[in-house]
Structure 1
C-alpha cells in the first residue's frame, strides 16, 4: 500500500481556514487585552479620583465642624452677654422706680 503524501484540496483549505481562525483569535485576544488594559487604567484613575474626593470631603467636614463650633461658642458668648445686660437693665429699672418713689415721697412730705 502506498501512502498518499499529498493533501487534498479540501484538507489544504481546512488547514488554511484553521490558521486564519487562529490568527483572528490572536488578533481578537490582543485587541481585548489592549482594551482591558485601557479600561483598567481608567478604573484606577476613577478610583484615585474617588479617594481624592473623599479626602477633600473629609477635610471639608472637619472645617465645617470647626466653623460650627466657633459659631456655637460665639452664640453662647452673646447669650451670656445678653443675659448680663438684661440683669443690669432690670437692676437699673428697679433703682429708677425706687428713685421715683423716693422723689414722690419727698415731694409729698414737702407739701
Structure 2
C-alpha cells in the first residue's frame, strides 16, 4: 500500500491548486465547510469522525485521510477512530473493511497506532 501521509499531502496540494484557479468556488467551499464542521450540538471531533465514517463507506481515499487527520487534530484517539471504522464496516461491508486498512496504515505512519 502506498504511503498514506504522502498521498494525503499530494491530494491536499492538488486540491489547493484547483481552488486557487477557482477563487469564487474557493470562498464558497471554505465558508460551507467551516460552518458544517464548527462546534454546535455536536462537537467538531464528532463531526469529523462522522465524516470519516461516511468517507470510508463511500470509498473516497482523499476524504478518508483528510477526515482522519482532522479528527486526530481535534483530539480523537486511535480507539475512537477505530470504533468509528467499525460503524463504517457495519454499514459498508467488505468494501468499507478494505478502506479501513487505509486508516490503519495512516495511523501507523503517524505513530498513533503501533505497527504490527
Between Structure 1 and Structure 2, the one with more helix by share is 1
* TM-score (norm: length of structure 1): 0.20
* TM-score (norm: length of structure 2): 0.19
> Which protein is bigger by CA-based radius of gyration?
1
